[in-house]
Chains A and B, each alone.
Chain A
Amino acid sequence: MSAAWKNLLLRHETILGVLLVITLIVLAFQSDRFFTADNLLNQGRLMAEVGLVALAMTFVIVTGGIDLSVGSILGLVAILLGVFWQKLGLPLPLAMMLGIVVGGVAGLVNGLIITRFGVPPLIATLATLALYRGLAEGISQARSVRGYPDWFFMLGQGEFLGVPVQLWIFGLCAVIAAVILGLSTFGRATYAIGSNAVAARFSGLSVDRSLLLIYTASGLIAGLAAVIFVSRVSTTRSDMGTGLELDVITAVVLGGTSIFGGRGTIIGTLLGLGLMQALKNGLALAGVKGDGTIVVIGAVLIGTILISNIFRKDADG
């Protein structure tokens, strides 16, 4: 077996892919309702928001950073969407755009705190996690906004060619993200920054600008996810997206992105997402309760990274 083949086989993504296939087979045997197009599409609908945010989070973690504030940004944008539309009387499409823009601004603020003041991303976004959620609560005054027009629900509840609309959006974003991270100059710069930010800067890459862009994108995507979320659940509440960041980070890390930066792929993140959602859904269908599922996901997270570490140790020597 050639070294290249061996390398490919021992990649985290390959291990994860095999694990995912095994999981799918086992779960399919556990419940005959699991492996149906209907169920799988529906699971896609449910994971679209986490998935979208995970795409941007992959970039963030590849640079060696982290963004804990995404769940709060989602809540803030959801609230503002409702407020812009209902209280300020803006047309709904404009309110949607504005909401997403606010998400981008929130991400930009994260980026500015991190690049301009040199605050470690974990701390910076820990602070904005509280701040953005607080703004959402303060602005909403705990009121929810309801009664959106029917066309708006197309985004979160509708279908296009038999596939949930948000799955199309997610798929499109995933392809774009995969191309950018894997093939583009910007992706290259992202990896270089995550592996060695100083060397990247000394090579004439604009490190700060790249980081700003990535954190802004993370906010924008969280904003987009918020709009889809509101459309899916037909209402706006300030506690939306609570704890989202942990799900997202779990998926990304499960997907083989190194928390220290420099390593990770969109394919890996997609596999990680798939495995997580398959476990949640499949175990529920197989009769395991929600709390048991949480335990399994935690164990799978540790186990996968452990296996991957052991293989990598062998490969590196």
Chain B
Amino acid sequence: MTPLVELTGISKSFVGVKVLDHVDFDVRPGEVHALLGENGAGKSTLIKIIAGVHAADEGEIRIGGEAMKFANPGQAVKAGIAIVYQELLLFPELSVAENIFLNHAPRTGWGGLDWAEMRRKARALLDDLESHHLDVDTKVGSLSVANRQRIEIAKALSQNARVVIMDEPTASLAEGDVQQLMTIIRRLRERGVGIVYVSHKLPEIFALADRVTVLRDGHYVGTKDIKEVTERSLVAMMVGRSIDQLFPKEDAPIGKVLLELRGVSHGKQVRDVSLTLRAGEILGIAGLVGSGRTETALTIFGITPATAGTILIDGKPVQISSPQQARDLGIAYVPEDRGLQGLVRPQTIAENISLTVLKKLARGFIVDRGKEDSLARDFIKRLGIRARGPGQAARQLSGGNQQKVVLAKWLAAEPRILIMDEPTRGIDVGAKSEIHALMSKLAQNGLAILMISSELPEVLGMSDRVLVMNGGRIVAEIARKDATPETVGAAMTLVQEREAAA
């Protein structure tokens, strides 16, 4: 069978740095081909070459057996290649139908847009994706991430794509949405569409992929049939070393209660939330996106101050109405969106780390650069941040190292309560286990950690206790020994069904 897309000997350099070195890759009709590798392994560059965003320096691209060179993404689209990016590239001000048909809308006889046809086709595509609830006239800006992703997929299908490339499609999806996405992907596969699936999440790959290709440092490591590999062997291929335990939570002595919430509410997103968090404990919060997990964290951190209820620190009620107050009370928050909320990307590592402790670093009101520099060096060593030095710009680091910088920034503030929102989202496996190890160590040192995660294995592996949220409420509390994918998953979906039935 002729592959839909076949790449041989692809090389690509940016400013003298080789990011891809003679890589081979192909996609056949009706298969899901997973592309794996740590961040910086060259996955993004490879899919951008397939999609015509970058041109390869060397090597050959064949589409349906024919050699091709794409000068721009438009040509790749014409050749039947569509890409669903990690950061969804939609236009909030345009309607659903327009987003789907941007740049290839049906035309009327005199060249204008055929709006009726466009809306009808959009409707049909969405129905095909089981998305009957989406209105083709709504502005995309008001939709959830999962819904936007469906629109991206519909957009790919509307271009008669024979190859759909998905870059970390589940990175910001909750468990339930992931399942639906998989259903959609399987349906596409049945129709003979070739799918390139880029993800860090091994369980998904085992659930979906037919073949898997691994890249490491721009080199091609190998392509395997999924049946030939195990989780462990894949990780070994990716990192070049074997990782014994993915989620190494070690026991830590559980101390006194540091943080307590009593009936805390904020609008409709956080309703009557009560919880306790002890020193040395990792408290996991599971739930779907929009279930109120992040919103609860934001309320504790003072971004969206509580409208009702009490927050107690060391048993004393406190008012937290700004992040400054939260910080001064010893609360740290490693946010969900690293690029937007966590890092000042153009600034250096040192400047990022010192943001939370500027006052402490200052002599008078002048920042002590020497102290700042040694603080950054200290953290680079402690957290194993791979960087040229404290003076390197944060944006040049890989995802895992960026996350470590954000963590370092908050550890610099010497918090007693650490909230981590999706601590390992979009991070490669190696860095992930490092961050997990760090979390364990921090807990052992007496830090109280509140961890929010969409990855069930992470929640189960790391948490001492698991809270499950839905509709802004805490709906279940499960102890570590009872926490299994079934119990937690049941708590998450049970409520959803109950609400849907109501």
Interface, chain A (partner B; CB < 8 A): 179-180, 183-189, 191-192, 195-196, 198-206, 262-263, 317
Contacts and interface: CB of A to CB of B under 8 A. Distances in A.
B359 A185 contact: yes
B335 interface: yes
A188 B346 contact: no
Interface residues of B, number: 32
A203 B409 contact: yes
Interface string B5-22: 000000000110000000
A202 B356 CA distance: 9
A203 B362 contact: no
A200 B303 CA distance: 12
15 contacts: A183-B367, A185-B359, A185-B361, A185-B366, A185-B367, A187-B367, A188-B355, A192-B347, A199-B341, A201-B323, A202-B303, A202-B342, A204-B324, A206-B322, A206-B324
B323 A204 contact: yes
A185 B342 contact: no
B326 interface: yes
Interface of B: 14-15, 301, 303, 322-324, 326-327, 333, 335, 340-347, 351, 354-356, 358-359, 361-362, 365-367, 409, 413
A261 to B, nearest CB: 10
Contacts of A188: 351, 354-355, 358, 367
B367 A204 contact: no
Contacts of B323: 201-205
Contacts of A198: 340-341
A183 B340 CA distance: 25
Contacts of A317: 14-15
Smallest CB-CB A-B distances: 8 pairs: A317-B15, A204-B327, A185-B358, A203-B355, A195-B344, A204-B323, A202-B341, A196-B344
B326 A204 contact: yes
Contact of B340 (A179, A192, A199, A204): A199
A202 B362 contact: no
A152 to B, nearest CB: 33
Nearest to A314: B15
Given A195-B345, A317-B15, A204 B356 contact: yes
Contacts of A204: 323-324, 326-327, 355-356, 413
* Centre residue among B15, B326, B366 by max chain A CB count within 10 A: B366
A107 B354 CA distance: 30
Contact of A186 (B342, B345, B365, B413): B365
A115 to B, nearest CB: 13
Contacts of B327: 204
A184 B333 contact: no
Nearest to A186: B365
A286 to B, nearest CB: 40
A205 B324 CA distance: 6
A196 B367 contact: no
Contacts of A203: 323, 355-356, 409
A309 to B, nearest CB: 16
A179 B333 contact: no
B344 A192 contact: yes
Contacts of A179: 366
Contact of A200 (B15, B322, B354, B355): B355
B355 A196 contact: no
Contacts of A196: 340, 343-345
A262 B355 contact: no
A203 B407 CA distance: 11
Contacts of B351: 188, 191-192
A204 B332 CA distance: 9
B356 A185 contact: no
Contact of B346 (A180, A186, A206, A263): A263
B442 to A, nearest CB: 19
A208 B351 CA distance: 20
A179 B363 CA distance: 13
Given A185-B358, A188-B358, A204-B323, A195 B333 contact: no
A202 B333 CA distance: 8
Given A185-B359, A185-B365, A205-B355, A199 B346 contact: no
A196 B409 CA distance: 15
A189 B358 CA distance: 9
A262 B346 contact: yes
A201 B303 contact: yes
Contacts of A199: 340-344
A262 B356 CA distance: 18
A186 B359 CA distance: 9
A121 B303 CA distance: 23
A163 to B, nearest CB: 27
B57 to A, nearest CB: 14
A18 B341 CA distance: 39
Contacts of A200: 344, 355
A180 B358 CA distance: 13
A184 B355 contact: no
Nearest to A185: B358
Contacts of A187: 367
A192 B365 CA distance: 17
Contact of B365 (A184, A191, A195): A184
Contacts of B345: 195-196
B319 to A, nearest CB: 16
B383 to A, nearest CB: 17
Nearest to A184: B365
A205 B409 CA distance: 13
Nearest to A201: B323
Given A201-B323, A263-B346, A184 B14 contact: no
A237 B327 CA distance: 50
B346 A195 contact: yes
Nearest to A187: B367
Nearest to B15: A317
Nearest to A316: B15
A39 B344 CA distance: 44
Contacts of B340: 196, 198-199
A184 B366 CA distance: 4
Contacts of B367: 183-185, 187-188
Given A192-B347, A202-B303, A203-B409, A184 B362 contact: yes
A196 B67 CA distance: 44
Contacts of A183: 366-367
Contacts of A263: 346
B293 to A, nearest CB: 16
Given A196-B344, A204-B355, 15 more contacts: A179-B366, A184-B365, A185-B367, A186-B365, A191-B344, A191-B351, A195-B347, A198-B340, A202-B341, A203-B355, A203-B409, A204-B324, A206-B322, A262-B346, A317-B15
A51 to B, nearest CB: 24
A204 B335 CA distance: 12
Contacts of B361: 185
Nearest to A203: B355
Nearest to B325: A204
Nearest to A7: B391
Nearest to B327: A204
